[in-house]
Structure 1
Amino acid sequence: SGVPQGSVLGPLLFLLYINNVVDIVNPPVKIKLFADDCLIYAPVTCANDQIVINDCLDDFQTWCDKWEMKINYSKTTYTHITTKKHVLPFTYSIGPNYLPQVCAFKYLGVHITNDLKWRAHVENVCCASYRKLRFLRAKLPNATKDVKLLAYKTFVRPVLEYACAAWSPHQKDLIDKLERIQRLSARFICSKYKRTDSVTEMLKLSGLESLEIRRQKQRLKVFFQILHGQIKIDRTIYVHPPHKLSSRINHDAAVRPFGARTDVFRKSFFPDVIEAWNKLPRHIVENSDVKKFECALDVYFAEQ
């Protein structure tokens, strides 16, 4: 569209240019935009639902033709996200271009599979963070402990925790894979590589909390922000008062738990975090400020 790359106004002008693309989508189809990434999705229960989605794709093509924009077909795919063994067959297309079906795709830095399991993402995260750790070891062999700790927190740990509220794993082997990177980082920070050196002590001296606990706290923080309208998610879909409130067990801010039949659903964000939320003490959930809530969480988990 003639917008200079790297300019200050470029992103704003692009968003203005594509702003009305959401108008082509009608329920039950939904669209999510982030920069130049576009995600179109809808629940499929019958063949007609698939036709509705494909019609939406054709409308998207018409919109692109009108505004002289080109779809990158090499990066356009579709997938069926389901745990069912048999799905309704359908090949989606945009105009004359048939879209390839994939079992996994990367969206906004997160690897999503069609069964909503996070093994592939965790393995990719571990590989990426380990490469960064090796780079730091090569570039900072003689740095002080404080510098190494800062480097780990700046370059390695953010990779391990990016969007972790969404994908936090529950399988022990995946949890251990992530913790292993931090344990290797603790050796790097303390410059101790002997097998007899206690990594647990290094983690304690470095003030490094378990990544699993950090993910639990991050989920609770995100849920707190959803409850208080600080994140734009319609909480009325997921958050309901409990059928029965017990003053001996629950606090006034308790939320109705989900009934889940599979681990995939049970350990997904809302069912998992609601269970953890209902177990929190009253003085924590009654906070209205997110910073105070985080501080109270830190104290609570430190005492566990």
Structure 2
Amino acid sequence: MFPLLYSLFTHDFSNSTAIIKFAEDTFVVNLISNNDETAYLQGIKNLERWCQENNLLLNISKTKELIVDFSTEQERSYQPLNINGTPVERVDRFRYIGVHITQDLSWSCRINTLVKKARQRLYHLRRLRDFKLPSQVLRTFYTCTIESVLTSSITSWFGNSTMQDRRAFQRVVRSAERTIRKEFPNL
């Protein structure tokens, strides 16, 4: 109920920045063009002022700044972001709604997390095999607990994954195939 109330309460906030809300989390996206941070910083000030006027507190300790810069120029320095006089931590990656977002917008961090989670579940598949369960039960376990992890949001990231990332996925699938002694389709 709280996320719905939060969304209703904050619906009237308008700004030149893109505001993405999920439950009580807010994600602010803005473009810095021609080395001019003015619009970006003004958007943050507008958010800060709106929150004060509407009796909402921004949790600065949970607030992070991530800069994605694809310019071909030398590395540029950006002004440190301050909210209510408190500096905001600048990070090169963070997790938002379970997805790892990095400053180079690569999917490797997300894929490594999925592969690690799937590998941990391979242990349980091997244990079930050792109990001499039928291959159909093992196949169902694989589909529900390992393949579901590997294919989580696959339509979003697979097209931009590296060959190395794809091989890591296939190694997990091949390991499951050897465990069950059945072939699975490629991801």
Superposition TM-score tier, normalisation by shorter sequence = 0.7 to 0.9
TM-score by length of 1: 0.54
d(CA) in 1 for partners of 2:140, 2:148: 12
Matched, 1:96 2:72: no
Give yes or no for contact 1:54–1:94 (8 Å, CA) kept in 2: no
The alignment covers a number of residue pairs equal to 183
Q: CA deviation at 1:86?
A: 1.8
**Contact residue 58 and residue 95 of structure 1 kept, 8 A:** no
Contact 1:15 1:35 in 2 (8 A): yes
Aligned to 1:146: 136
Taking the aligned partners of 1:97 and 1:41, their CA distance within structure 2 comes to 20
Aligned counterpart for 1:110 among listed residues 99, 115, 118 = 99
| RMSD, aligned CA | 2.3
Of residues 53, 77, 81, the one that matches 1:66 is 53
- After superposition, the Cα gap between the structure-2 partners of 1:65 and 1:151, relative to the gap in structure 1 and judged at 3 Å, is farther
Unaligned 5+ segments in structure 2 are none
Which residue matches 1:19? 11
**In the aligned structure 1, how far is the partner of 2:114 from the partner of 2:65?**
23
Q: Does 1:41 align with 2:29?
A: yes
Aligned to 1:185: 176
Once the two structures are superposed, what CA deviation does each residue of 1:177-235 show, in whole Å capped at 9, x if it has no partner? Answer: 011111222233x2x5xxxxxxxxx21xxxx3211xxxxxxxxxxxxxxxxxxxxxxxx
Query: Cα gap change, 1:129/1:46 in structure 2, threshold over 3 Å: closer, same or farther?
Result: same
User: Bigger radius of gyration, 1 or 2?
Assistant: 1
Question: Aligned partners of 1:14 and 1:119: how far apart in 2?
Answer: 33
SS in 1 for 2:109: helix
Runs of at least 4 residues off by over 3 Å: 135-141
Question: In the alignment, what sits opposite 1:159?
Answer: 149
CA distance 1:95–1:134, change in 2 (3 Å): same
CA contact (8 A) 2:19 2:26 kept: yes
Q: CA deviation at 1:39?
A: 1.5
User: What one-letter code is carried by the residue in structure 2 that aligns with 1:42?
Assistant: N
Is the 2:60–2:83 contact (alpha carbons within 8 Å) kept by the matching residues of 1?
no
For 1:113, give the aligned amino acid.
Answer: T
Equivalent position amino acid for 1:104 in 2: R
Distance between the aligned counterparts of 2:127 and 2:45, measured in 1?
A: 51
Say which SS state the counterpart of residue 105 (structure 1) adopts. Answer: strand
Measured after TM superposition, the shift of residue 47 of structure 1 is 4.2
Relative to its length, the structure with more strand (as a share) is 2
Q: 1:58-100 CA deviation, whole Å, 9 max, x = no partner?
A: 2222232333333232221112212334224221121212111
Q: 1:38 to 1:138 in 2, by over 3 A?
A: farther
Question: Residues of 2 paired with 1:139 and 1:62: CA distance?
Answer: 57
Q: Residue 164 of structure 1: CA displacement?
A: 2.2
Cα deviation 1:138-178 (Å, max 9, x = unaligned): 46743322222222222222221222222224432211101
CA distance in structure 2 between the partners assigned to 1:17 and 1:155 by the alignment: 38
Give CA-to-partner distance per residue, 1:210-264, whole Å, 9 cap, x none: 11xxxxxxxxxxxxxxxxxxxxxxxxxxxxxxxxxxxxxxxxxxxxxxxxxxxxx
Conserved 8 A contact 2:4-2:23: no
2:166 alignment counterpart: 175
Contact 1:57–1:93 (8 Å) recurs in 2:
no
Which segments of 5 or more consecutive residues in structure 1 lack a partner in the other structure? 1-8, 193-201, 212-304
Query: Following the alignment from structure 1 to structure 2, what is the Cα–Cα distance between the partners of residues 154 and 20?
Result: 42
What does 1:1-304 align with in structure 2 at a 5 Å threshold?
Answer: 9-21=1-13, 23=14, 25-26=15-16, 29-48=17-36, 50-84=37-71, 85-138=74-127, 141-142=130-131, 143-168=133-158, 169-188=160-179, 190=180, 192=181, 202-203=182-183, 208-211=184-187
